[in-house]
Chain A
């Protein structure tokens, strides 16, 4: 299996012809030619029709079905405004939470500064975003720590078939919930949390390099606890 080449492309870079390929994510078409719209990594494999550019940077673009970590900004009579680390805030309606909330009693359940694991339930054309807590494993978060990371490296933190995130969980024995929106919740003992943070910062810095999984494992192994 030939070593996967990682080519960095920049906006306006020519990638291919509409006659031979299809324009995927992060690209645009002009006069029958496909160009990169983003600073990112080119994904153009032999035999594959689609040309995609995976962005290296950029704010989180909410998509229906994404699991995210939100921080409540304010409570209104029948809804909450939630910061989801995106260009737009999200609305959480009282009908979308597992509790029976009376009109005007929203503050009893969620307040400014509270953190929640939520799911994007709707994104309309004007990018008005709605989220829900009505799904398994969605709730108000307690304890632990939350940090933000570059949303574009979400896939790197998860790894192929979750290999990276499982590696981190194995060595640190922490519970970790990675939001697609560039926020991650970590719970465990102080040492474990610190190790997870170091791993995530390293992945952020070296996201495009090769052999990252091995280097992360080495980092985690250093004074690691017993691995189960």
Chain B
């Protein structure tokens, strides 16, 4: 388990005092984002996302199952994230750790609470049979900012998903019914500065982390603060504004990848 040297920590902090980041990015700048869809042909929908060197793959599988008792005429959506050992020397095989669980739940909430998937249109027989959507996210290469990479991969996979009606003899395949997606942006704070899309080193020295998901109307759809440091109201306001701005650009990249 490599320790981050305090020298590196101090160097990054010093750079921050001069308005710089180690990789030359501006404070509110994201790394290069690449999205490729249709990477797993047996999945109903899939996507591979790269943010800098961080790489994530998401696959959507669908099945027919029972609805939740409190939503008997809606489809079911579950999200799972796996921090597979391939992605980092620090990940071990075995039951999901807290980070994996937090990651999956944040991504799941982002997708579910934003009502991106029109679950009410995925009912087959009310109270008995509905469409069940499984979103499985695999982290392949961990170089900072898993939240945004995972959310983006989940969205791109969902947006290219075809409901496999034919296989279940329920008619012809059709695209999964979806609304406009919210886009999540993650920021970390260290040495008094707040930066977007943290690199691995920046995450290691981060005191606080904030993920904000915004939609095309610039409304806030989800938020998650992590780590034990604090954020001021001013900092939160700046993060929201940056999320909206970056969100716009990321949404464009997402739409391009799904052919919109």
Seen from chain A, the residues whose Cβ lies within 8 Å of a Cβ on chain B are 71-73, 83, 85, 112-115, 141-147, 185, 190, 193
CA distance A20 to B11 in the complex (A): 53
Residues A143 and B6 in contact, CB atoms below 8 Å apart: no
Residues B2 and A145 in contact, CB atoms below 8 Å apart: no
- Identify 29 residue pairs between A and B in the complex whose beta-carbon atoms are under 8 Å apart, listed by A's number: A71-B2, A71-B3, A71-B4, A72-B3, A73-B3, A83-B2, A83-B3, A85-B2, A112-B3, A113-B3, A113-B4, A113-B5, A114-B5, A115-B7, A141-B7, A143-B7, A143-B10, A144-B7, A144-B11, A145-B7, A145-B8, A145-B11, A146-B5, A146-B11, A147-B8, A185-B7, A190-B18, A190-B20, A193-B11
Point out the residues of chain B lying under 8 angstroms from A141, CB to CB: 7
Point out the residues of chain A lying under 8 angstroms from B18, CB to CB: 190
Point out the residues of chain B lying under 8 angstroms from A146, CB to CB: 5, 7-8, 11
B236 within 8 Å of A (CB atoms): no
CA distance A83 to B11 in the complex (A): 20
Residues A190 and B15 in contact, CB atoms below 8 Å apart: yes
Q: How large is the interface on B (under 10, 10 to 19, 20 to 34, 35 or more residues)?
A: 10 to 19
Point out the residues of chain B lying under 8 angstroms from A113, CB to CB: 3-6, 9
- List residues 1-52 of chain B with CB under 8 A from any CB of chain A: 1-11, 15, 18, 20
CA distance A198 to B2 in the complex (A): 23
Point out the residues of chain A lying under 8 angstroms from B8, CB to CB: 145-147
Closest partner residue, chain B, to A116 (CB atom): B5
Nearest CB in chain A: distance from B11 CB, A: 4
Query: A73-B3, A85-B2, A147-B8 known; 8 other A-B pairs, CB under 8 Å?
Result: A83-B2, A112-B3, A113-B4, A113-B9, A114-B6, A146-B5, A146-B8, A185-B7
Nearest CB in chain B: distance from A93 CB, A: 19
CA distance A83 to B4 in the complex (A): 10
CA distance A185 to B7 in the complex (A): 9
Residues A71 and B5 in contact, CB atoms below 8 Å apart: yes
The 7 closest A-B pairs by CB, nearest first: A113-B6, A145-B11, A115-B5, A71-B5, A115-B7, A146-B7, A71-B3
Closest partner residue, chain A, to B20 (CB atom): A190
CA distance A202 to B25 in the complex (A): 19
Point out the residues of chain A lying under 8 angstroms from B20, CB to CB: 190
Nearest CB in chain A: distance from B95 CB, A: 26
CA distance A145 to B5 in the complex (A): 9
Q: Could you mark each residue 88-106 of chain B with 1 if its beta carbon is under 8 Å from any beta carbon of chain A, else 0?
A: 0000000000000000000
Closest partner residue, chain B, to A111 (CB atom): B6
CA distance A147 to B15 in the complex (A): 15
CA distance A152 to B6 in the complex (A): 25
Interface centre among A71, A83, A85 (most CB of B within 10 A): A71
Point out the residues of chain B lying under 8 angstroms from A72, CB to CB: 3
CA distance A190 to B2 in the complex (A): 25
Interface centre among B4, B5, B15 (most CB of A within 10 A): B5
CA distance A143 to B100 in the complex (A): 35
CA distance A112 to B3 in the complex (A): 8
Point out the residues of chain A lying under 8 angstroms from B6, CB to CB: 113-115
Nearest CB in chain A: distance from B204 CB, A: 11
Closest partner residue, chain A, to B6 (CB atom): A113
Point out the residues of chain B lying under 8 angstroms from A73, CB to CB: 1, 3
